[in-house]
Chain A
Amino acid sequence: MSVTSCKDLEEINIDPNNPTEVSTPAILLGAEKKTMDYLYDTWFSGRQSLLYAQYWAQRNYTEEDRYQIRESVNNSYFNQFYVTAGNLVKIEQLNTDEATKATMSAYGNNNNQIAVAKIFKVWLIQTMADTWGAIPYSESFKLDEGIYYPKYDDLNTLYNSLISELDNAISLINVNETAFTTGDNIYSGDAAKWKKFGNSLKCRLAIRISKVDGNWKNYIEEAIASGVFDSNADNALFTYSTSAPNQCYFYKGFFDDARNDFSVSKPLVDLLQGQADVLNEKSHPWPNVVDPRLQIYANSNSEGNYIGIPYGVASEDLSRITPGISQTPDFMAGRPLVVQANFAVPLMTYPEICFILSEYKGFAVDEYKKGVQASLEYWNSQSARVMSSAPITNDAITAYVNAVSNTVNAETLATQKYIHLYMNGTEAWAEYRRTGYPNCLLKPGEKSTVANIIDDKGNVTGTEILIFEALSDTKGDLPARVKYPTNESTLNSKGFNDAVAKLSDGTNNYYSKMFWDVRTTAIPHPANK
């Protein structure tokens, strides 16, 4: 017979192995890396935003190119982004609560930390809003208050909240104090740079609403006064490492997963080679001008030529296109800059600000030329850093800038901005939806490529033209949005149903336009307000 007793049952619930208090730098670095890993990978970028922007196309399975998403991926990424956004909110809380702010101030000025978390959060939420449209925000991150089913904020309201939150963040910054002593892989805790990024991000939000909201010019004016990027030294980039496991996820998608799924698309390559789309009788803004960035964006084939993958070809037809798939740049063999382990993924860069300012000043030539030049210098320097090769000479830069500056208007500006934004699929896809440019992007129903007709014995008996046929209804254009994840219908049914009811035709579709996308068939390139 035995008797036992315990001293204090509550002690059992205390986990001696995992921390219950975390330092804000640890949360920040985790949030930064997780966000970049999920945004700039071969799923959210490779099989979605890079395809919609037609920077890349797939070599084997083209379902996603043709606007058919995988529900599991959509569900998973929507969830992950909210988790990392929630971590950023945690940083704000730890720096605000009386119980913790003193401890956290050891890692940097409290207000600066809050500002950094807010700016990064706004950048992430805007990327999500540009993807899915109206999403939960004002009622999100409030589980402690018992709000489990946040409503989806209308997109115009959401954009306004993001702009005011940026203003708030910028006002909190004290440039004479550190933001984070450690844990910031974007600016190493430099408060002055975060302030410039905050103002530049405000310009990105402003230009996005420029066709619908007259206040856009005021926002940019305020941002300029407060200080935006003024050179490539200010760029907001997240740089990966050559050491495992911190390589860029584009690298991992090719070399860890051992998959050769992507290459550059024909619309992009033709644009960079000054070739107009003759199949669809489109014009080119700078015929026969070869862009020096092409050799950095992709590697050439074995004959030294650049041939992009035609966009939107059905998977079963890829084997018979001519020229064949084997002629396109093989990223696995050639390992261009963008799939290197220590590639730097962009949050926002100085050339983008130049283009925004040019548009703000009514398509001004000086800012346009600064943007083009800065873009060539930026890509050249990234190539130097990663590949130890800077292939673009100063003479080539000058020649190219002059060749593309004869006409500076909505089309040429948007097209140069598109070329610069390579690898930032979401921003390029959003700017297409706002401006309707560049013209070279292939729409469903347009002609994709020539293909061989092959008989039963394998002989080529003729050729035909393959038409880009979308697998989801996008009303004859690129997708206006990605549909809401199906899990939301189960986990937040009221929010989901109310939001879907507000979409065009009240269905969870790909063609309901964002409020800032006011293109019509009659007016495919609306003017700014």
Chain B
Amino acid sequence: MIYTNKKHDILLIIKLLTKSLTNYCDSNGNKIVNANGTYKATDGNVPLGSAYPKTLWGITNSFRYKDLTLSVLFDAQFGGKYFSTSNMWGIYSGMLEETAGSNELGNPKRDPVANGGGILLPGVNEDGTPNTTRISATRWASSIYSGPAAQNVFKSDYIKLREITIGYNIPLRSTKYIKNLKVSAYGRNLAMFGLDNKSFDPEMATTSSGNIQGVEGGALPSTANFGLNVGFQF
């Protein structure tokens, strides 16, 4: 016999669906930094959003002009969030674009702080004064792993150009043997718009099954594919 406490189980399920992780500490809408210049994390976990999107959209348009057909499909989702483990490790190890390039002084981020390099995180100290503590690029990258988990939480919103199909009904001189011949070309997953983090495709985070939802880790990038259809009708 299995004993369950229904109310307890339902609360647990709600907790599982709402991602609770450590967050930034906030002061009047500004992020708080520690004395050493990295972002301060909350003591415990705080709900950061839902793994599931609030709305899913799709729109198909079909056009026809004489023997040419064109169909365009967009789909979109809005309102969900995901945690990116690839972002966390990608920055920690210095692989992602954000870890190189110039800082706000125009110097290479990876230069020593003493030479004008490093990063100044936007935010305030505990007492409310603006943050002036520069940190080295390695220190910043390491704090993406050890600091507030919210640093790696992104919106899973996207608008995707899912498919374009162009078709052409080949005009036949005689329909004795073949009644109809249609050729079409298609492209799928052609473009993504509106991504919170351009390095990762949020669809890779929310389509897994199992009880770990909304976490992306090592997902392969999505691929576009192209093809040709030829249809005969006898």
Question: Do A and B assemble together?
Answer: yes
In residues 49-80 of chain B, which contact A (Cβ within 8 Å)?
none
A488 to B5 alpha-carbon distance, docked (Å)? 20
Contact A71 B22 (CB under 8 A): yes
Contact B36 A489 (CB under 8 A): no
Whole-angstrom distance from the CB of A292 to the nearest CB of chain B?
40
Contact A507 B146 (CB under 8 A): no
Find chain A residues with CB under 8 A from B2 CB.
13
In residues 276-322 of chain A, which contact B (Cβ within 8 Å)?
314-316
In residues 33-67 of chain A, which contact B (Cβ within 8 Å)?
63
Top 5 closest pairs, chain A to chain B, by CB: A489-B44, A508-B43, A490-B45, A490-B20, A489-B45
Which residue of B has the minimal Cβ distance to A144? B3
The answer to whether the Cβ of B34 comes within 8 Å of any Cβ in the partner chain is yes
Contact A146 B5 (CB under 8 A): yes
Contact A490 B15 (CB under 8 A): yes
A304 to B150 alpha-carbon distance, docked (Å)? 49
Name the contact of A473 in the complex, choosing from B8, B35, B45 (C-beta under 8 A). Answer: B35
Residues of B within 8 A of A (CB): 1-2, 5, 8, 15, 20-22, 34-36, 43-45, 138, 142, 146, 149
Contact A63 B20 (CB under 8 A): no
Known A71-B22, A148-B8: A63·B45 in contact at CB below 8 Å: no
The answer to whether the Cβ of A273 comes within 8 Å of any Cβ in the partner chain is no
Chain A, interface size category, equals 20 to 34
Summed over the interface, the residue pairs from A and B with CB atoms below 8 Å come to a total of: 45
Find chain B residues with CB under 8 A from A491 CB.
15
A497 to B1 alpha-carbon distance, docked (Å)? 35
Whole-angstrom distance from the CB of A423 to the nearest CB of chain B?
27
Name the contact of B44 in the complex, choosing from A315, A471, A486 (C-beta under 8 A). Answer: A486
Whole-angstrom distance from the CB of B161 to the nearest CB of chain A?
38
Find chain A residues with CB under 8 A from B138 CB.
314-316
The answer to whether the Cβ of A216 comes within 8 Å of any Cβ in the partner chain is no
Find chain B residues with CB under 8 A from A483 CB.
43
A247 to B174 alpha-carbon distance, docked (Å)? 81
The 17 sampled A-B contact pairs (Cβ below 8 Å) are A13-B1, A63-B142, A148-B8, A314-B138, A316-B138, A471-B36, A484-B43, A484-B44, A486-B43, A489-B20, A489-B43, A490-B15, A490-B20, A493-B44, A500-B44, A507-B43, A508-B43
The answer to whether the Cβ of A487 comes within 8 Å of any Cβ in the partner chain is yes
A487 to B43 alpha-carbon distance, docked (Å)? 10
Name the contact of A500 in the complex, choosing from B1, B5, B22, B43 (C-beta under 8 A). Answer: B43
Whole-angstrom distance from the CB of A158 to the nearest CB of chain B?
21
Find chain B residues with CB under 8 A from A68 CB.
142, 146
Whole-angstrom distance from the CB of A19 to the nearest CB of chain B?
16
Find chain B residues with CB under 8 A from A473 CB.
34-35
Contact B22 A486 (CB under 8 A): yes
The answer to whether the Cβ of A262 comes within 8 Å of any Cβ in the partner chain is no
A483 to B44 alpha-carbon distance, docked (Å)? 10
